[in-house]
Amino acid sequence: MSKEFEEKIKLESFFRKREKLIKENEKYSRFLFAPIVVIVVSLLILSYNVTSGRRVINFDRNQEVETIYEEASKTLEKTENKSGKINLNAATTGELDSLPGIGKVKAETIVKTREAMGGFKSVGDILNVQGIGEKIFDEISDMLFVE
């Protein structure tokens, strides 16, 4: 065999291997193309839903704020009568905290005691709250009423 003939055989073998690799590459690229498309479409859908979800969440938060504001206004109307006194059976911890000698912890204790007793029957019932004695009662009794 001549060298030219051997080179032709090597070239043919090289080109056959190359064609085989190209066909395999095309086959695998088709397999890879589909998942890539699915991933891209999924990300687009997800980003759309997240964006839409933020709008819904903001809308709900605005409604919640309005609802809380309305409820707070109603509670304030219930707790304060025209003389500026606080209703012990409807007062929030924040309102009770504003009284002299009553801090946040005592205000929470008053609310818990009120719930346990099923409401106060008179202003004097506040003496049943742990941490409130005669001295504090004398300071705040004029600022309270019970309904």
In this prediction the pTM is 0.46
Q: What is the pLDDT of residue 33?
A: 64
* pLDDT tens digits, one per residue of 30-79: 666 666 777 777 777 777 766 655 544 455 555 665 666 677 666 665 55
The residue type at 42: S
Question: Looking at residues 116-137, what average pLDDT do you find?
Answer: 89
DSSP 41-73: HHHHHHHHHHHHHHHHHHHHHHHHHHHHHHHHH
Asked whether the predicted pLDDT for residue 141 surpasses 50, the reply is yes
How far apart are the C-alpha atoms of 73 and 129, rounded to whole Å? 27
Q: Looking at beta carbons, which pairs linking 31-36 to residues 24 or more positions away fall under 8 Å?
A: none
Higher-confidence position of 18 and 63: 18
H-type alpha helices, the chain: 3-79, 93-97, 104-117, 134-140
